[in-house]
């Protein structure tokens, strides 16, 4: 399987973006060891070539977004990357029925989200009362993929409480998540 990993972690406040980079490394190792081809798009680099990024997007069978949740959305570099890479008549066309003109051939997408909120915070308090699941906060990226005709969402992995809390559980839990959702490619 051809897998594009799109990363958006960067330094802000007390977060240094290192966890997102580490999760990208784990993704590469786990999926490459299973025989999948993995390419990366680092949205925090301002030197990327848009045509090359579009080519990677159109090459992928699966897209994995590794992103911190910034103010209940993707970080600005990831939004900017999408703004530049999602091109009319390359990744989508306008159709009579809104949202049915996606041109991205990938079948699947997965979101790996990091945040300082605990999973137990979801659905509680004034701010999160209407968001009982992490995907409730990730609707912009979910809807964007659906618009592009990438409509099979692999379960989201949420690494929460990453600044103040214990993060020692993340590596093992993430590897189990990848093993559950991505099998070894038949190399015969």
**How far apart, in whole angstroms, are the C-alpha atoms of residue 16 and residue 5?**
19
**How far apart, in whole angstroms, are the C-alpha atoms of residue 25 and residue 48?**
19
Q: Is 33 exposed, middle or buried (0-12, 13-18, 19+ CB in 10 A)?
A: exposed
With CA atoms as reference, report the closest residue to 137 among 169, 170, 114. 114
pLDDT digits (tens, 9 = 90+) for 35-45: 999 999 999 98
Q: What pTM, to 2 d.p., does this model score?
A: 0.93
Three-class SS state of 168: coil
**pLDDT number for residue 165:** 82
Mean confidence (pLDDT) of the chain: 91
pLDDT digits (tens, 9 = 90+) for 101-117: 999 999 999 999 999 89
């Amino acid at each position: 399987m051809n897998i594009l990993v799109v990363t958006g972690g960067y330094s802000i406040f007390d977060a240094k973006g290192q966890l997102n980079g580490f999760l990208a490394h784990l993704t590469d190792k786990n999926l490459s060891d299973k025989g999948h081809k993995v390419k990366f798009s680092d949205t925090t680099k301002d030197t990327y070539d848009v045509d090359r990024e579009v080519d990677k997007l159109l090459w992928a069978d699966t897209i994995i977004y590794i992103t911190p949740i910034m103010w209940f959305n993707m970080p600005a570099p990831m939004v900017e990357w999408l703004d530049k890479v999602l091109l009319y008549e390359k990744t989508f066309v306008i159709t009579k029925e809104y949202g049915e003109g996606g041109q991205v051939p990938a079948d699947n997408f997965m979101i790996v989200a990091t945040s300082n909120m605990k999973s137990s915070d979801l659905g509680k308090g004034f701010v999160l009362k209407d968001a009982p699941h992490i995907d409730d906060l990730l609707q912009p990226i979910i809807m964007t993929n659906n618009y592009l005709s990438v409509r099979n969402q692999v379960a989201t992995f949420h690494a929460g409480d990453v600044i103040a809390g214990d993060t020692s559980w993340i590596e093992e839990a993430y590897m189990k998540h990848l093993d559950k959702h991505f099998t070894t490619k038949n190399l015969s």
